[in-house]
Structure 1
Amino acid sequence: MAEDLDTPVAPSGPEASTVDGILVNPSTTPEGTGNHPSSPRFRSIVVVLCIIGGVALLLAGGLAASKVHSGSDTAWSDWSPTKSGAAGAQEIANHVAPSYKGSNGQQLVSVTGGEVKVADLPVRIALRNTGGTGDIKLVSGTGILYTMCGLGAHCAIAAGKASLQRMLLLRREALELALYTFKSDSSVDHVAVLMPPRPGERQIKDSSGTTRVAGNQGTAMLITRDSVKTALANPLSAIIPAQTPSVDTIAKSPEAAAVNALTGPDLFMMSIIEGQDATAYLVLDPIKN
């Protein structure tokens, strides 16, 4: 077949005639040769045009895909983790934590992120007294756990003074961790954040009246995907501006009201208890205002 395409085709059509003593055939004039469908030149032009058209379609498809990707990711934030799951959570923690500073200008807390586990035990999250009814509700779905540690006694923040302003800044940090997690990993349904305890927060009296430190108690946040779906539909900067406020400025920052509204219902007193089946329970009790 390829040989057939390369074999010269005998001219057909009107008979040859003589013009000014020169034998002329209509199908073999320069114009006829360039436009005739069976001519090598014509076939070459068609092949080139097809190649150009194919390349153009590929480029157009690539640009369209690029626009879709950048529209969904880059438009939401200038940064995103390269991984999902536990590895992605730690990437997010490493990216977010250094932006939050204490009154001394140093990083406020260290943050670890990963699966919902404590001491390598899988954790079930239980909400107690939901709706004021005293009922217990087990949280279902896939979760990510972040733990904040201030590197002081029992992970309390070593420097500075505990205050409502500092807690609001920590809540902003927890919200930023959760938003990045939900946006980058569609399989995550909820994010739990163990907050650094206030000094003395974990001191309790046992049945004998002796005061001791309860290392398994403190404050936690539980943020669900549904509770922040509006924030996820808008650029991150609409809720969490790029410039992180300080402890002294957080209360007057543009995002203070939004952070307070979004995280207020998600703040709990927490306790961790070991289950009877090689698991642990993260028990969350609503904080009464």
Structure 2
Amino acid sequence: MAANVTGARQPHRPRFMVVYGLLGAVLVVAIAGVVVYAGRSINPAPTWSSWKPSGGGLGAAKQIADQVGTSYRLPNGDQLVSVIAKAPSVSPSSGATIPLHYIAIQGTKGVAGKDYAISPTNSVTYDLCGLGSNCSIATGKPSVARGTLVRREILELAMYTFKYVGGIDNVIAFMPPAAGSTTQYVIYLQKSDLKDELKQPLDKTLQSKVPLPAAIPAREVHTVDSVTEPRVYTYGVAQAQTGDFVLVLTPTAA
């Protein structure tokens, strides 16, 4: 009788072996998941920057303007420029604020022009004012290095904006003119222009300590020049038949 009972149970043993095997596999996967999660907790992905604004929209852009603007200095310790963040607009000498609805880039050398719709939901304007006559930099002597530092600041403003202010695809930065000059320049950057820089931490593009004009590393000079120089324009404002105001940009790059 005992032999018969034992024989009856033997067919179930393979089923139990399969169940035990499946349970073991689940346990291995679970342990592996815990190990991976623990590894990520111990070695988290690097943050993009050590500082970031709170909130969003124009309020966040104003925080960026304050944070970045106060970190750029002249050799005498004065702030390089004052930075004002606002919705897309210009303020001519009349004092009125004109909201901008479109950007039109004039075509050159047979290349067709381009038009872009802009609004407070997809664009931010930064005015860089040196607090001198016509917003020129009030102290020190103009130099190529100082101009590079201004463009470095604009690049940093744009990178923070595209990274942390949701929905913003356009940054329009009005540069301080050279003292005594009536020619005014603007740098126009789109988020797609900085797609590679935004994929890596900020300090891989620009070192965290802002240099003085004469001490910008050669690597950064190359980066600033390659990104900003092709996107420097002279500008004017036109009004379309519909009443919309258009920022008309003329390329300066040869």
- Residues 245-266 of structure 1 deviation map (CA, whole Å, 9 limit, x = unaligned): 111112x444221111111211
Say how many residue pairs are matched: 207
**TM-score in terms of structure 2 length:** 0.74
Instruction: Identify unmatched segments of 5+ residues in structure 1.
Output: 1-59, 203-216
- Residues 22-70 of structure 1 deviation map (CA, whole Å, 9 limit, x = unaligned): xxxxxxxxxxxxxxxxxxxxxxxxxxxxxxxxxxxxxx9xx99x97xx8
Report the counterpart of residue 232 of structure 2 in structure 1.
Answer: 267
Match of 1:167 among 147, 156, 173: 147
Quote the Cα distance in structure 1 between the aligned partners of 2:167 and 2:132: 34
Match of 1:188 among 162, 168, 181: 168
Task: Give the letter aligned to residue 162 of structure 1.
Answer: P
3-state SS in 1 of match to 2:246:
strand
Task: Give the letter aligned to residue 78 of structure 2.
Answer: Q
Q: Does 1:225 align with 2:191?
A: yes
Q: Does 1:126 align with 2:104?
A: yes
Report the counterpart of residue 234 of structure 1 in structure 2.
Answer: 200
Quote the Cα distance in structure 1 between the aligned partners of 2:224 and 2:204: 11
Q: CA 1:274/1:149 → structure 2, altered by over 3 Å: closer, same or farther?
A: farther
Q: CA 1:118/1:279 → structure 2, altered by over 3 Å: closer, same or farther?
A: farther
Task: Give the letter aligned to residue 145 of structure 1.
Answer: T
Percent identity of the aligned residues? 34
Quote the Cα distance in structure 2 between the aligned partners of 1:107 and 1:276: 42
Q: What are the equivalent positions in structure 2 for 1:1-289 lying under 5 Å apart?
A: 71=45, 75-119=47-91, 120-123=97-100, 124-129=102-107, 132-133=109-110, 135-140=112-117, 142-202=122-182, 218-250=184-216, 252-274=217-239, 277-289=242-254
Quote the Cα distance in structure 2 between the aligned partners of 1:135 and 1:231: 28
**TM-score in terms of structure 1 length:** 0.66
Quote the Cα distance in structure 2 between the aligned partners of 1:114 and 1:169: 22
Quote the Cα distance in structure 1 between the aligned partners of 2:137 and 2:146: 10
Quote the Cα distance in structure 2 between the aligned partners of 1:288 and 1:186: 30
Report the counterpart of residue 9 of structure 2 in structure 1.
Answer: none
3-state SS in 2 of match to 1:99:
coil
Q: 1:278: Cα distance to partner?
A: 4.9
Quote the Cα distance in structure 1 between the aligned partners of 2:218 and 2:111: 37
- Residues 128-167 of structure 1 deviation map (CA, whole Å, 9 limit, x = unaligned): 125x336432123521110100011111111112221111
- Residues 164-223 of structure 1 deviation map (CA, whole Å, 9 limit, x = unaligned): 111110110000000000000231111110000112321xxxxxxxxxxxxxx5111011
Quote the Cα distance in structure 1 between the aligned partners of 2:234 and 2:160: 24
Q: Which one scores higher on RCO, CA 8 angstroms, separation ≥ 6?
A: 2
Task: Give the letter aligned to residue 249 of structure 2.
Answer: L
